[in-house]
Structures are given as structure tokens and as C-alpha cells.
Amino acid sequence: MRSSLLFKRVFALLAVALLLWIFLTALLYAFIARPVFTNMKTKEIEPLAKLLADRAGLSAQSMNDFVKNTVTLSYEMFGSWMFVVSANTPFIFHTQLPERMDPIRQEIINTVSEASRSLDEEMTSVTFTQGYKGHPSSYLFVVVPIGDIESEYGSLAIVQPMSEINAGILSLNLALFSSSLAVLLIMIFPIMFATVRILRPLQSVRRVAVAMSGGDFSQRADENTTGEFHDLAVAVNHLAGELSLVISQLTFERNRLRQILDGIAEGIIAVNEDGIVTEYNTKVWEVFGVTTDLSEPLSPDLFLKTTRLNDFFQEAIALKEAVAHVISKDHRQIFCLITPLVSEDGYIDGAVGLFRDITESERLEQTRRDYIANVSHELRTPLTAMRALLEPLAEDMVKKEEDKQRYYEILLHETMRLSRLINDMLELSRLQATEDHAEMSIVKLEDVMETIMLRFQSQADDQKIRLEMPHDLEACPTLWSNRDWLTQIIGIYLDNALKFTPAGGRVSVYAKAGQSTVEISVRDSGVGIQPEDIDHVFDRFFKADRAHNEPGTGLGLSIASEIARQIGASLSVKSEPDEGAIFSVTVRRADAAIRDMPITEDVAGED
């Protein structure tokens, strides 16, 4: 409660009011007290001055001893100084001023002289106060006439320091301030108590309001109060109960709608008649490939503007009929169906959009068409060549035996090419159809390389290509893979490298061990791969060197990709035009794979 801003303000207001009362009272008292005290002092001094004036003479010889002694001892008896002044002679007699008054001695004498001369014809007394520059205190002057103005006359002046009066005023002010301060200190606790009592019902209502703003409708205000605070607490508690019921119903409906929307496989966005998004599901971000974990997430309204989908919504609302479009975004094909929302009276309330990613279906359809076209092309090429050779033989147009033999050799070559194509297609289909992973075991790279060398060394020698293998295979860590399929991947790499490396070139095989994997790479010095072909080298029937005369099927790297999927390896390629290519396969190390196994299995390496 004491940390409440309202409590601080109420308490500060009461405290400031009390302090202001103290200050104004002291200030007003200071202005009133000084004239009152001065008047009291004047009334105290004036009878003495008149008594002495009646007995004083206007010469030192006529002044009786009582007056003379009183004037002489005035400061000791009354704390004041007396001056007897004649109209003819400036001073007859006066009290000796102390040495501390030397700086203003002459000024006091001049003031007494001027006051004596200012007595009017009625010879009435004159009273005033006078201060002097550079002197801390002021003085009270009481001047009464001596004698008769028609004969010889003069005056008696009494000069009383105001220090006594000032001390009295100061003491009273101090007493007033001390008593006021005591009252303030005494009233602090009653003020705090009263403030707390006043603000406690408001704090209770405030707590309920803050809880409701945070979604907590279980809090209730204290109704054990009276007057307006009781009515306010009852009203707030009733409001909290009603809001709790309404919010619960709305939350239930919202969650049910959200679950329905999120359960739909397509992205959905609904807008009102002004084009402002009212509902959407999370699937829409996935459909359009938008990252949702950005530092500044993309709002649905901004998303519609940046993708220009709001144009489709406006078109559907304007035409009052469904519109369909297919758009391309980041290599995605997205089908958009926008349907207007029409009320019972025919008013357009907005529109809802359904968005489906048809990239995969389009890609599959295109792949199917390309596959049929490629298969047809690859099968037609050898069949056409075989037909062109068989027809002359069948019609006995080839007479020479050596020509027939050459035709037979070409037919055998094309038949073998057709057989390889069919076998590769069957192998690729088998790999793509199965979901079972290969049997994994510990594999020595040295054994794989020996098999590779036996298979490709003679081919490299025939093509006059230098085939280099790593010499430190014994230091290479063992692999966790399938030996036959790993050998097949490296064999496909080497077969392609030898095809696309000219005579006198070099093909190198090397391995690089990491903490948990080993990367095996095949590098050639051939023609390289164009940048636009890098992403397609593992596609079926794709040939980077379209002008190459080798009868390749274009399925080798696709088979390697499927084998890598089966054994949990990853493939990569790096190439620059006219600088050769580097094909790599990354395989897990055996020690890392065994360490990560949940249950240790007995494995044995292959010889």
C-alpha cells in the first residue's frame, strides 16, 4: 500500500497542506508581531520619557540630579540611550554610547537631531524605527518635547535597540515552528492511517481490474465497505464474473476454430471487407515458405501486401465470385482460390483464401512426362541403330563378310547398351521402391580401394589417364557403411570421371577424415560442369556434357544418390567449367556410429 502512487500523492498532499499552513502562519505572524511588539515597547518607554522631560532642564545647570543620573545610567538600567536636546544647543547631555556603536554613533546623533527639529507646533511626541547600513540591528526612537515652544524648548530622545524585540519575535516564531513541527510529526501516523483506510477499497478494485486486464477473472474486490466504495466493489465483481463467462465461451470457440484451421492441410487467410486479415492458420507460412522465427515476424496484413495477394482478394470481393490463380514464388507453384463471403442479405463481408502448394504434384507430373520422354528417347536410339543395321542384313544387301562382321559387332554393342539401360532403370526403380536400409557393418577403406583399382586401372591405362589412389589408407579410420554399395558409389564416380577426362589427364581418389565422418572424393581434370547444371547432376537421365559421344544412360549418379540414401551417406559436387569436377561421398566413422548407438551391437569388419 505504501508503495502505491495514489497513496504517495494523497499523503504528500496532506503533508504539504500542513507545512504550507505552518509557513503561512509563521510569515503572517512575523508581519503582525513586529508592529505589535514595537507599539508595546513604545508604550513602555513613552511614560518614562515624558517623566524625565518634565524634570529635565534645557541646560546642564538646570538639569536635576535625578534626570542626569537616569540619563547617565540609562543603558545599565533600561538597555537604552537617552539624549537631552535643546533648540539652541544641539546637545545638553546624553548617555555615553559604547565603543561598538562607534561606526554609527554620528548617524544616531544626526537622527536624534532631525527628530528633535521635526517636532510640530503642538510639541507632540515622535516615535519611529531606524536601521543603519552595515549594522545588523535596528533602533526604536521615542522623542518627547521639553518646555514650551513660545519660550525656550527642546526634546528628550530615548533610543532603544530592537534586538530585544527581535529576540522576542524570533523566540515566538521558533516556538510556533517547533509546535507546528511537533504537530506534523504527531499527525504523520494518523494521516498515513487515514490515507490507507481511504485507499484500501480503491486498491482492492484496482487489483481486480489489473487481474482482468491480464486475463485473470478469478479475483474479487472487498465488498466489506460502505457507501460508494461498496457499490463500486459490487459492480466490479459482477463485471468480472460476466467477463469470465464471456471470455471462457469466446476462448473455447476460438480454440476450436484454431484447431480446425490448423488441421487443414492448405493455408487459409480470411479478410474483412476492408482487406484486413481476421483469421489465418499456420499452414499458410509453410505453403509460401515464410520463416516464422524471425526477429521481427511478418504480420499477415504485411504478408498480403508484399506477396500482392490482396489484389486477388479485392478482385473476388469486387466480382462477388470465386477467383483462382496459380502463382510462382521461390520455385514454388501455389494454387490460390479466393472465395467472397456473402451474408444473407447479399452484403460482402470479406473473402477467404485457400492456398495449396502444388509444387510437388507439378514436379511429379513433369518428372513423369520427362521420364517417359527420356526412356522413349534412350530406348529409341539403340533400337533405331539396330533396325538400321538389321534391315540391310535381312535383305542381303551386305555382301562382304568383313562388313557383316562389323555390323554384327555394332549390333552387339547396341544390344549391350540397351541391356545396360534396362538394368540401370530396374536398379533405380528397385532402390526407390524400397524403404529398408542396407545392412551396415565396419568397412575398411583400404579393401574398397583395392576392389576399385582392380576394376578401373586397366580402363584408365587404355584411355591413357593417370589414376591416383591414396597411399595412407592404413591410417584412415574404419567406416560404418555397406561395403558393396559404398564400392558402387565410388565406382560410379570413377566411371564418370574417366568418361569425361581426356587422354593425358588425371583422376585422383583421396579421403579426408573428420571427427565423426570421412569424406571420400574423386577428382578429375575433365571439362567440368556448368554452374546451371550443378543442381541437376543427380537427376535421372541428366547428362552434363550433352555433346559427349559416350553412350551413357544418365542414370549412374541417380543410382548413387539412392544408394547414399540407403546407407545414410551424403553426396556433394564441386566444379568449375574447364577445371574438372570433384564428386564426394561423406560416410560416418565406425567409432562415432558405434558410440551413438543406444545399445552396443557386436559388429565385425569385413576382410
Helix (H) or strand (E) holding 329: strand 323-329
Q: Assign 3-class secondary structure to 8-73.
A: HHHHHHHHHHHHHHHHHHHHHHHHHHHHHHHHHHHHHHHHHHHHHHHHCCCCCCCCCHHHHHHHHC
Largest CA distance in the chain: 189
**Encoded amino acid at 260, one letter:** I
CATH number of the domain residue 408 falls in: 1.10.287.130
456 lies in the same domain as 369:
no
**Encoded amino acid at 375, one letter:** V
31 lies in the same domain as 96:
yes
What's the distance, CA 164 to chain centroid?
Answer: 70
32-65: burial string, b at 16+ Cβ within 10 Å, e else: ebbeebbeebbeebeebbeebbeebbbeeeebee
427 lies in the same domain as 451:
no
Tell me the sheet residues that pair with 355: 267, 336
209 inside domain: no
Helix (H) or strand (E) holding 336: strand 332-342
CATH number of the domain residue 306 falls in: 3.30.450.20
413 lies in the same domain as 503:
no
CATH number of the domain residue 549 falls in: 3.30.565.10
95 inside domain: yes
Instruction: Give the C-alpha separation, 19 to 149, whole Å.
Output: 56
Q: Domain range holding 76?
A: 5-170
Instruction: Give the C-alpha separation, 506 to 512, whole Å.
Output: 19
Instruction: Give the C-alpha separation, 543 to 529, whole Å.
Output: 10
CB 154 within 8 A of CB 148: no
48 inside domain: yes
Q: If phi over 0 gives left and psi between -120 and 50 gives alpha, with beta otherwise, what is residue 396?
A: left
Q: What are the Cα distances from residue 401, in Å, to 136, 286, 393?
A: 150, 68, 11
Q: Can you list the positions of beta strands (E) in 343-460?
A: 348-357, 441-443
Q: What is residue 546's predicted lDDT score, i.e. its pLDDT?
A: 45
Tell me the sheet residues that pair with 574: 582
HSE, CB side, 13 Å, CA atoms: give it for residue 266: 14
215 inside domain: no
104 lies in the same domain as 151:
yes
- State the total domains in the chain: 4
- One DSSP character per residue, 549-599 reads -S---S-HHHHHHHHHHHHT-EEEEEE-TTS-EEEEEEEEBHHHHHHH-SS
Please state whether beta strands 323-329 and 277-280 pair in parallel, antiparallel, or not at all (unpaired): unpaired
398 lies in the same domain as 450:
no
pLDDT digits (tens, 9 = 90+) for 367-404: 677 667 666 666 676 677 777 778 887 787 777 778 77
CB 22 within 8 A of CB 177: yes
49 lies in the same domain as 93:
yes
Q: If phi over 0 gives left and psi between -120 and 50 gives alpha, with beta otherwise, what is residue 332?
A: beta
Query: Among residues 170, 192, 211, which one ends one of the domains?
Result: 170
Instruction: Give the C-alpha separation, 390 to 397, whole Å.
Output: 10
- Residue 557: closest CA among 547, 545, 297: 545
- Residue 442: closest CA among 469, 476, 471: 476
166 lies in the same domain as 139:
yes
Instruction: Give the C-alpha separation, 152 to 582, whole Å.
Output: 140
The grid cell for 69 is 543620573
312 lies in the same domain as 370:
no
CB 205 within 8 A of CB 221: yes
338 lies in the same domain as 372:
no
Q: What are the Cα distances from residue 46, in Å, to 97, 127, 159?
A: 21, 9, 11
* Mean pLDDT per 10-residue interval, the chain, length 607 residues: 63 76 75 77 80 70 72 81 74 75 80 75 69 77 74 75 75 76 77 74 76 76 73 80 81 79 80 84 80 58 81 86 84 86 82 85 72 66 75 78 79 73 65 64 85 82 86 79 82 84 88 88 85 73 50 65 80 84 89 73 45
408 inside domain: yes
Q: How many other C-beta atoms can be found within 10 angstroms of the C-beta atom of residue 392?
A: 13
Query: Among residues 432, 448, 466, which one ends one of the domains?
Result: 432
214 inside domain: no
47 inside domain: yes
Instruction: Give the C-alpha separation, 421 to 382, whole Å.
Output: 10
235 inside domain: no
410 lies in the same domain as 501:
no
pLDDT digits (tens, 9 = 90+) for 146-198: 766 555 667 788 888 877 777 777 777 777 778 777 877 787 777 777 777 77
Instruction: Give the C-alpha separation, 282 to 292, whole Å.
Output: 9
The grid cell for 408 is 554384327
Instruction: Give the C-alpha separation, 62 to 308, whole Å.
Output: 123
Q: How many other C-beta atoms can be found within 10 angstroms of the C-beta atom of residue 95?
A: 20
Give every CB contact of residue 166 below 8 A, 6+ residues apart in sequence: 137
Instruction: Give the C-alpha separation, 491 to 214, whole Å.
Output: 67
Instruction: Give the C-alpha separation, 224 to 459, whole Å.
Output: 102
Give every CB contact of residue 172 below 8 A, 6+ residues apart in sequence: 29, 33
478 lies in the same domain as 421:
no
Query: Among residues 357, 385, 415, which one ends one of the domains?
Result: 357
Sign of CA dihedral 521, 524, 528, 533: negative
CB 555 within 8 A of CB 498: no
Q: What is residue 34's predicted lDDT score, i.e. its pLDDT?
A: 74
